[in-house]
Homo-oligomer: A and B are copies of this chain.
Amino acid sequence: MEEELKEILAAALAAADPERVVRRFLSMENGRMSIGGESFEPRRVLALVIGKASGAMARAAGEVLGEALNDGLCVIKAGHEEPPPTFETLVASHPEPDERSARAAQKVGEFLEELGEGDLLLVLVSGGASALLADTAPGITLEDLKQLNRALLRSGAEIGEINAVRKHVSTLKGGGLVRRALPARVAALLLSDVVGDNPSSIGSGLTAPDPTTLEDVRGILKRYEIEPPQSVQDHLEKDHETPKPGDAAFEKLTNTIVGSGRLTAAAAAKKASELGYTSFLLSTYLTGDAREMAGFHAAVVKEILESGNPLPPPCALITGGEATTVVHEAGIGGPNQEFALSLALELEGIEAWAALIIDTDGTDGPTNAAGGLVTGETAALIRENDVDPHKALDENNSWEALRVGEALVSTGPTGTNVNDLRVMLVSDGTHQ
């Protein structure tokens, strides 16, 4: 089963590979352009590529479109892969915006001005797009934006609430980009790093109408007692509302999710089915404490083994989302490694199961591991190597425990980020 899990991992990561997903959803055949299954015959094509995976996505788009691509602008994170020279490239800062991020936002605005009737704007978005653009509304400085960001992060507001505020002080987010691209059509390919894959959340909604309102924003600032800089207060008083669902600006918009936690989990499920397991994708919304989550997954595996519910073995339980962990001690590990170690303890000594738990970006916590691959024998092997697995869990030292248990999974940086993936195989004895 361990070899099978590695095959499943490869299939899952391939489904989120930035270059492959662009080639899957963008094609040119006999001069006909297809984006996300829809045909386009534009006067001109301009490509705007933003996010941490921009280099690979731009490269793929450039190769697919060839001569049909009239112009391209690419915003990348410092130190990441650069696109081919056919794209104008801007390097910006992430996760904290800087002068380069403000310059990138300005350049994107100028790029949008070029667009006219009959043009198509192809937008390729990947993780980090929101932070790479410091697109403040007139009168709001970069320093004001950073001050607002810090106040929001300190306030205890939820990520959806923080983004509602950000969209309302922005010129590109919350649908602003689409409105400014008019009268051109916009087709976006989105590599989603957001649980649920809602386009209004991906890149803070660069290519989607904004369901949140100015009234929501005022309520959030009041509820969390956030005192924004004067320039932000002035802006919010002026009724600068973001474009809403139903706005005419979005009539010419097509969003396609080309990679996501859900597509990755579905690819894992498909590969597991090919290997002879009945797959069930339980949920890609599973977020929360890594240990509690391991307990839930263990409870399902136990039921499968005990009663054949919800499915008899051989079967594969697949979930996605984002595990978190509360760090109490100065150990080395990450949420996916704690999940794996916890699962190994919950199901210790039980045969006929094996599980893979990884962060798809290849980096789980501050470690060189993506996660863990564990079985009913892992905990015993850890003990044989003089590490107490319970103690390692309590001390947030999952990396060391999994290392001696030969259960670490290392993929290296994958160049993509579609949250966590967990695959639990349960055998009926025919799989080893």
Q: A309-327: which residues lie under 8 A (CB-CB) from chain B?
A: 309-310, 321
| Contact A282:B309 (CB < 8 A) given known A288-B295, A289-B292, A292-B289 | yes
Residue among B289, B292, B299 making CB contact with A283, cutoff 8 Å = B299
Residue among B280, B288, B295, B296 making CB contact with A310, cutoff 8 Å = B280
Stretch at the interface among A45-53, A144-152, A300-308: A300-308
Complex Cα–Cα for A298 and B283 (A): 10
Chain A window 100-124, contacts with chain B (Cβ cutoff 8 Å), 1 for yes, 0 for no: 0000000000000000000000000
A266, A281, A287, A299: residue with the most chain B Cβ atoms closer than 10 Å: A299
**Shortest distance from the beta carbon of A15 to any chain B beta carbon, whole Å:** 15
B282 touching A310, Cβ below 8 Å: yes
A281 touching B310, Cβ below 8 Å: yes
Is A413's CB within 8 Å of the partner chain B? no
- Chain B residues whose C-beta falls within 8 Å of the C-beta of A295 in the assembled complex: 287-288
Complex Cα–Cα for A347 and B281 (A): 20
- Chain B residues whose C-beta falls within 8 Å of the C-beta of A303 in the assembled complex: 281-285
B262 touching A283, Cβ below 8 Å: no
A266, A282, A283: residue with the most chain B Cβ atoms closer than 10 Å: A283
| Contact A302:B285 (CB < 8 A) given known A262-B307, A292-B292 | yes
- Chain B residues whose C-beta falls within 8 Å of the C-beta of A282 in the assembled complex: 282, 300, 303, 309-310
- Chain B residues whose C-beta falls within 8 Å of the C-beta of A307 in the assembled complex: 262, 281, 284
A residues apposed to B, CB below 8 Å? 196, 262, 266, 280-289, 292-293, 295-296, 298-300, 302-303, 306-307, 309-310, 321
B288 touching A300, Cβ below 8 Å: no
Complex Cα–Cα for A306 and B265 (A): 14
**Shortest distance from the beta carbon of A204 to any chain B beta carbon, whole Å:** 21
Closest chain B residue to A262, Cβ basis: B307
A-B contact pairs, 27 of them (CB 8 A): A196-B302, A262-B307, A266-B309, A280-B309, A281-B303, A281-B309, A281-B310, A282-B282, A282-B300, A282-B303, A282-B310, A283-B296, A283-B300, A283-B302, A283-B303, A283-B309, A285-B298, A285-B299, A285-B300, A285-B303, A286-B296, A286-B299, A288-B295, A288-B296, A292-B292, A296-B296, A299-B321
- Chain B residues whose C-beta falls within 8 Å of the C-beta of A288 in the assembled complex: 292, 295-296
Complex Cα–Cα for A289 and B295 (A): 11
- Chain B residues whose C-beta falls within 8 Å of the C-beta of A280 in the assembled complex: 309-310
**Shortest distance from the beta carbon of A220 to any chain B beta carbon, whole Å:** 14
Closest chain B residue to A320, Cβ basis: B303
Closest chain B residue to A296, Cβ basis: B296
**Shortest distance from the beta carbon of A70 to any chain B beta carbon, whole Å:** 36
**Shortest distance from the beta carbon of A322 to any chain B beta carbon, whole Å:** 11
